[in-house]
Amino acid sequence: MPIATPQQYAAMLDAAQAGDYAYPAINITSIVTLNAALKGFADKKSDGIIQMSTGGGKFASGLNVGDSVLGCIVLAEAAHRLAEKYDILVALHTDHCPPKEVDSFLKPLIAATAERRAAGKGNLFQSHMLDASNLPLEENMALSVDLLKLCAENDIILEVEAGVVGGEEDGAAGADMESVPDDKLYTTPEDMVAVHEALSGIGRFLFAATFGNVHGHYKPGSVKLRPDILKKGQDAVTSKYGEDAKFDLVFHGGSGTPRHELEETLAYGVVKMNIDTDTQYAFTRPIVDHLFKNYEGVLKIDGEVGNKKVYDPRAYLKAGEKGVATRLGQACDDLHSTGKSIFGTV
């Protein structure tokens, strides 16, 4: 069963932390993008994280339904079935839930896992993200504590965020980079200590600290990353509470980041990097190429009948699937998770 159990997911994170590598976390919105993610990880013999957002779930449920929770459940159940054909481990995660949607999105999904567990099945999701970074840190942590307790009861890992990530990812709007004071783009060591003190001992959690990262894709020079922020925060926590207090960190806004900057974050405890913008482009680019090259076949021009073989959606969606898998494989290489699946060892 390659959808990781809670114990296997914990082992995945431990292995990444010990080995100074990280898992790409790719957002999906459909069966096609789910298959692309599974192919990408499997081709590289890398474990990985597949995630869904409120917007992705809404899309997956169809135009007439528009139900984020239902869409995420459908995609997660499909992942459980499809992943059985692969010899890697995959964790399922939800991305960027704002405080106002905790009751309508996260809690129903946690309840869905609880129902599966009561029926003797595995967790539907292995982790969820609460994005309360728009709140003052004290309010953010108060909400995080309550939600982490609920997650811990069901062997679910909670991802939390402190600091501001600019741009937009899969419908989750961050801040306008030009409107945010520099100090808000960088989580302080004091904030990182406060996060540890609030959450440690309740249950396992992932922490998305900010170090100038943004969602989306920008030209060189537009984004000023400071990975040393992560080191300073880790040092502040471990010097006070010991090495066991080291965070499992998450890098948001990883698309377009130069490889040397990615690698620096790995040394500071990043075990998960979100990739969405680059994989969206990797899906769309080959589809556009197909349409341009087969223009007269995909359209019925001047009374002609077109070419069913090229306007059949499978013709170009397969190209999109392959494009995403290839780009995800590059991320596995960049994050050094290639060839390091722990499938069959735990």
57-89 pLDDT, tens digit each = 999 999 999 999 999 999 999 999 999 999 999
| Band of pLDDT at residue 179, cut at 50, 70 and 90 | very low
| Band of pLDDT at residue 218, cut at 50, 70 and 90 | very low
What are the residue ranges spanned by the domains of the chain? Answer: 6-335
Q: How high is the mean pLDDT of the chain?
A: 92
Q: Which of 91-105, 253-267, 294-308 has the lowest mean pLDDT?
A: 253-267
The CA–CA distances, whole Å, from 238 to 136, 193, 197, 245 equal: 24, 9, 12, 6
Identify the burial level of 143 via C-beta atoms within 10 angstroms of its C-beta, where 0-12 means exposed, 13-18 middle and 19 or more buried. Answer: middle
- Catalytic, 14? Answer no
Catalytic residue among 95, 155, 191, 334: 95
Question: Does residue 129 contact residue 156 with C-beta atoms inside 8 Å?
Answer: no
pTM of the model: 0.93
Residue 225 φ then ψ, to 5°: -80, 145
**What CATH number belongs to 6-335?**
3.20.20.70
Question: Does residue 52 contact residue 34 with C-beta atoms inside 8 Å?
Answer: no
Strands 168-169, 172-173: pairing kind:
antiparallel
> Residue 177: its pLDDT value, please?
43
Q: What is the separation of C-alpha 228 from the centre of its chain, rounded to a whole number of angstroms?
A: 22
Q: 294: Cβ–Cβ under 8 A, 6 or more apart, which residues? A: 307, 310, 311
Percent of the chain with pLDDT over 70: 90
Phi-psi region of 48 (alpha: psi -120 to 50; beta: other; left: phi over 0): beta
pLDDT tens per residue, range 245-297: 999 999 997 667 788 888 899 999 999 999 999 999 999 999 999 999 999 99
